[in-house]
Amino acid sequence: MDRRTFLRATGSAAALGLSGRPGLARTLPGVGALHRLMEETPRERAAAELAALVRGGLDRRRTLAALAVATSRRVRPFPHVGFKYHTVLALQSVHLTARNLPDEERWLPVFWALDYFKRAQERERRGWTMGPRPAPAAGTAEEARRRLAEALDRWDLEAVDPAIVDFARLAAPEELSEVLFRYGIRDLRAIGHKAIAVQNAHRLLPLVGPEYAPPVLRSLAAALQNHGYDANPATRDLPSDRTWRAFRGMLGEVPKGWKQGRRDDAARYEFVRTLREVPELDAGRAAIGLLKRGVSADSIWEALFATAAELVLRLPRVVPVHAQTSANAFHYVFRHAQDEDTQLLALLQAAAFMPGFRRRVGSARPGLRIEELEPLPVSGNGAEALREAFSALPGDPVSSARKALYYLQQGGSASNFAASARRHLARSGRYAHDYKFTEAALENYRNMAPTAWRDRVLAASMAYFTGSAEAPSPVSRKALELLG
């Protein structure tokens, strides 16, 4: 659909607020018309079409809702829950970045997301489109929940599609979330993307609203059923599923009062050291051991964040980056789930993911330890020191981390730090992982207690932040030109 066809379908240019004449009533497209425009407009014209609507008064939340629907409808979570599917997975991060930018830059991440979607759509085989919504089945919410759980347990892709639509129609949102939280953390496949997919949908659904939620939920349910090139996990004992089964059997070992545990700096450091050595199952066992000793879950999470930050600093590449983003997603499930078993399983599975990332990092910078990172003094203070820290990126990540640590330890503002990271991202970010990592790292920092460890985690995250030395992206340059 080109702009002329779209305007005939939805109203005149003046009615859409595109005429530029003041005082005219503006009837902007709803989510339905907007997602169709996004899906059908060629990539080379998409930015100009969006800019015209923005100038006419289109709001950012509606645009992100339409993007969530369009990406879910036109890009499959197969063969991988990743790669082109990042056009879906990155939207929560785009939303978080955009709402924290200055007014004049808030649309830049959205233009990036639209362009990334059009690129992903071009890579999708044979122009795939999600099929029609399944017809509703008779029955109660409890029956729909049982059908959904059975389909998920069988890893039955065909059965899960109507089941998720039915349960979403009949159940309260919090009931649906509890099911999705649990199944989003059940296996160690896809370097954490399934937990990220659940987190992403949970954040976006309030923007999308119930009318347009089904495509987002159907896409998510399909992602949760993706077992890669493995045989059906329901009929096999596969390595990616073993920790889930083992940890479910260990939940009885956790004391009933585990939520009243104490913060313990020594235990946190002990767990960081443990995670440098042990395999997946032992990582979860070690976390249970700390809970049994009365150590708080918060201290364990902080050790996980520190471990993830260290791995990224050692090797700032795409796969290790997921140590941070997956820890962030599992922690999101931990914070938002109501069921205590789901909360504990999120913690244990997050711990089990770290050894896999450690193996991917291999021998890169083997002597680098986050607790030994030394601050590197910079000239000036405040804004000047912050500029110097970001100026070393992307060429020298360790130096940037050390300068950032100096800035933070000298009382530098973490809010200004985050603002700088987001502004560089909006101007120069090019890839989905730029957005995903930045927001995950900033949120992990906010979820830590104000200790020296927290400053180290944020400073180490500099390794994958977008720096001031990077040129503005073609998408951001074009968006700024179009918006004037």
Over residues 167-190, the pLDDT tens digits come to: 999 999 999 999 999 999 999 999
| Ranges of each domain in the chain | 3-127, 141-224, 237-311+324-361, 373-474
Q: What is the CA radius of gyration of the chain?
A: 23
Residue found by looking up tokens 């018309």 in the block? 33
What pLDDT, in 10s, does the model give residues 331-374?
A: 999 999 999 999 999 999 999 999 999 999 999 999 999 999 99
Cα three-residue angle 187-190-194, rounded to 5 degrees = 65
- Closest Cα partner for 343 from 301, 393, 405, 307? 301
Mean pLDDT for 379-390 is 89
- The burial of 368, by beta-carbon neighbours within 10 Å (0-12 exposed, 13-18 middle, 19 or more buried), is given as middle
Tens-digit pLDDT profile for residues 205-216? 999 999 999 999
In order of 263, 292, 406, the CA distances from 310 in angstroms are 21, 26, 17
- Say which residue the tokens 């339905």 belong to: 32
- Assign residue 278 a region (left: φ > 0; alpha: ψ between -120 and 50; beta: otherwise): beta
pLDDT in tens, 45-72: 999 999 999 999 999 999 999 999 999 9
What is 357-395 written as a DSSP string? HHHHHTTSSTT--GGGPPP---SS-THHHHHHHHHTTTT
d(CA 374, CA 389): 14
Residue 186 Cα distances to 88, 248, 302, 350, angstroms = 20, 10, 22, 11
Question: Could you say which DSSP state residue 105 is in?
Answer: G
Nearest one of 436, 443, 259, 278 to 351, comparing CA atoms: 278
Closest of 356, 353, 358, 350 to residue 329, by C-alpha? 350
* Global pTM value: 0.94
Q: Give residue 413's identity as a one-letter amino acid code.
A: S
Phi-psi region of 239 (alpha: psi -120 to 50; beta: other; left: phi over 0): alpha
Residues 423-480 have pLDDT tens digits of 999 999 999 999 999 999 999 999 999 988 999 999 999 999 999 989 999 999 999 9
Closest CA to 448 of 414, 412, 401: 414
Residue among 24, 47, 27 at smallest CA distance from 38: 47
Per DSSP, 84 falls in state: G
| H or E segment and range at residue 339 | none
In this predicted structure, what is the pLDDT of residue 28? Answer: 85
pLDDT in tens, 87-102: 999 999 999 999 999 9
Identify the residue whose tokens are 């796969």.
319
Cα-to-chain-centroid distance, residue 34: 24
For residues 472 and 451, what is the distance between their CA atoms, to the nearest angstrom? 35
Q: So what's the pLDDT on residue 281?
A: 99
- What is the arithmetic mean of pLDDT over 148-155? 98
Least confidently predicted of 244-248, 290-294, 393-397: 393-397
Alpha-carbon torsion (137, 139, 143, 144), positive or negative: positive
pLDDT bucket at 27, cuts 50 / 70 / 90 = low
Return the sign of the alpha-carbon dihedral for residues 26, 27, 31, 34: negative
Return the pLDDT at 275.
99
Q: Which of 307, 456, 462 is nearest to 395 (CA)?
A: 462
Amino acid in the structure at residue 247: F
pLDDT above 70: percentage of residues in the chain: 94
